[in-house]
């Protein structure tokens, strides 16, 4: 299962810190970030957090990131103009 989140993380350093934090909590998951172009305001200017594994607890990940001040939503199909 792969879950894809849209976040407001803009810096590579912060993305690395989040990956390290999540890997401690979920060592069985493969986790990575894609930092996007931030010329547009969030949510159209966003980064992508991917979590892959047999079970991905999206609610727990959402709450843990929210507690760290990160805006995080499951990626929805939409077109940004």
Q: 50 with 31: CB under 8 angstroms?
A: yes
Helix (H, G, I), strand (E, B) or coil at 35: strand
Structure tokens at 62: 């959402």
Q: Per-residue pLDDT tens for 14-54?
A: 999 999 999 999 999 999 998 876 666 665 778 899 999 99
What is the rounded CA–CA span in Å between residue 8 and residue 16? 14
Predicted TM-score (pTM) of this structure: 0.82
- Of 16, 13, 74, residue with least CA distance to 46: 74
């Amino acid at each position: 299962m792969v879950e894809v989140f849209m976040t407001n993380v803009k810096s590579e350093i912060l993305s690395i810190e989040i990956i390290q934090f999540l890997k401690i909590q979920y060592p069985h998951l493969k986790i990575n970030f894609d930092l996007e172009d931030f010329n547009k305001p969030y949510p159209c200017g966003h980064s992508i957090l991917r979590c892959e594994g047999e079970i991905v607890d999206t609610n727990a990940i959402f709450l843990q990131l929210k507690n760290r001040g990160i805006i995080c939503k499951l990626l929805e199909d939409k077109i940004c103009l």
